[in-house]
Amino acid sequence: MCTPWLQLFTCKLVYKTRKYVTQKFKVVATGGTFDEIHIGHQALLSKAFELGKKVIIGVSSDEFADRVKGKGKITHSYQQRVANLRLVIQRNFGDVNYEISKLNTSYGPTVISDEVDALVVSSETSKRGLEINEVRSKKGLKPLTIVSVDLVRAEDGNPISSSRIRTGQIDPQGKLL
């Protein structure tokens, strides 16, 4: 649902609406598990770095990842995932302003900090952004601008995901194996 009242915008709308393309937010947040980093993650990060002067990247803790994804489904520990993410950011985005925050819930710092202005989510997780704004509203915090990035598709037309990479269906670029 794409209405100004909900402040939910798809990337297509972001690109078509010049006001949002040129707007640079002070702080943008995004997040994920980042187990097997793939081009979908890079698209999410790219949009966050494009829109934010500073980006807070939430990375699921091992305990939270086990609760959400299922015990034993994640290949890499939190420390390994953060180290891999830092390498990808350095390689693909250079010297950008970011911090990594450990996520123990789906909301992370977005529901307690008035510092964050916008949230970059995937089309798969855009409902979470609306939930975050509901919680923020109840706490008297201003709503975040929610920017939804379309899922990146593999060669077979299905979304690229860490689970598909782990099971050997595709590589991180979405090529079928």
Q: What does the pLDDT look like over 89-103, one tens digit per residue? A: 999 999 999 999 999
- Residue 23's pLDDT band (cuts 50, 70, 90): low
Neighbour-count burial of 21, counting CB atoms closer than 10 A to its CB (0-12 exposed, 13-18 middle, 19+ buried): exposed
The pLDDT of residue 71 is 86
pTM as predicted: 0.86
- Domain-by-domain residue ranges, the chain? 8-150
The pLDDT of residue 113 is 87
Compute the average pLDDT of residues 61-70: 92
Region of residue 121 (phi > 0: left; psi between -120 and 50: alpha; otherwise: beta): beta
pLDDT, the chain, mean? 87
Residue 148: which H helix or E strand, with range?
Answer: strand 145-149
Compute the average pLDDT of residues 105-132: 92
- Residue 63's pLDDT band (cuts 50, 70, 90): very high
The pLDDT of residue 17 is 32
Cα distance between residue 175 and residue 110, in whole Å: 34
Name 98's bridge partners.
Answer: 55
* 93, 54 contact by CB (below 8 A): no
- Residue 19's pLDDT band (cuts 50, 70, 90): very low
For domain 8-150, give its CATH number from 3.40.605.10, 3.30.930.10, 3.40.50.620, 3.20.20.20: 3.40.50.620
